[in-house]
Amino acid sequence: MDFIFMLTRGDRTVEDCLVVLDEILPLGLKHIGFKDVGVEFEVLVKLTERIRRGGALSYMEVVSETPEACLRSAAAAKTLGIDRLLGGTDVAAVKRIIAGTSTIYYPFPGFPGGHPTKLGGQPGDVAAHCEKFMAEGCGGCDLLAYRATEADPLDLVRAARRGLGKAGYLIVAGSIASRQRIADVAAAGGDAFTIGTAVFDGSYSPRKGSILSQLGDVIADCATV
């Protein structure tokens, strides 16, 4: 299963993201992302360029709360040349914006809202949305399973897997802070997971102090599930 390290804390890109990126690049991470909020656009330009030069795929997750802001974020992703755009729900509009680029889109299934984002909806909603995403040419989905307010997180992962079929790439994002959750997500059908805050606040490995140590444990745990 793929590990996507998000340079984010509390659903915002960390202000020293460029410094952190330079520190972690020697680990050889292949999937690195950030949010569309927290730093100026000029910083995101530099960040995307450095992720690309470091040999990793770039991810941007949209957490803007209004439809208009989400579409502005999609336009920003197009300008940045992001590899994989995550989040949002207006698939048709986002697809129009990124048309002609190599950016692959992974929208939110269910009913996301608020900041930090919570996820409403039942497994049936998630499965139906994922089926629709695949019909509309998306690469898969970005599921906020552990932010769910109305359903069991793993029931939502299994539902998303059903809806996406074998071809869709299922990213599980938010509140994954232990090897057990990584293993549970993998067993339920996830292809990838994101971690940001749990690395920055040290909660993934509470007895270790450095970001590199936290990331080393995530990488090791990911390899064994």
Query: What pLDDT sits at residue 69?
Result: 85
pLDDT beyond 80 at 115: no
**What does the mean pLDDT of the chain come to?**
95
Spatial CA neighbour of 170 closest among 78, 221, 108: 108
pLDDT beyond 90 at 68: no
CB of 131 within 8 A of CB of 99? no
- Domain positions in the chain are 2-224
Mean pLDDT of 132-156: 97
Q: Where do we find the tokens 């890109």?
A: 13
For residue 72, give the H/E element and its range: helix 67-80
> Would you say how long the chain is, in residues?
225
- pTM of the predicted protein model: 0.96
pLDDT in tens, 21-48: 999 999 999 999 999 899 999 999 999 9
**Three-state SS for 128?**
helix
Phi, psi of 6 (to 5 degrees): -100, 130
> Given pLDDT bands bounded at 50, 70 and 90, which one contains residue 133?
very high
Which one of 3.40.50.410, 3.20.20.70, 3.40.50.12710, 3.40.50.10240 gives the CATH number of domain 2-224?
3.20.20.70
Mean pLDDT of 127-141: 98
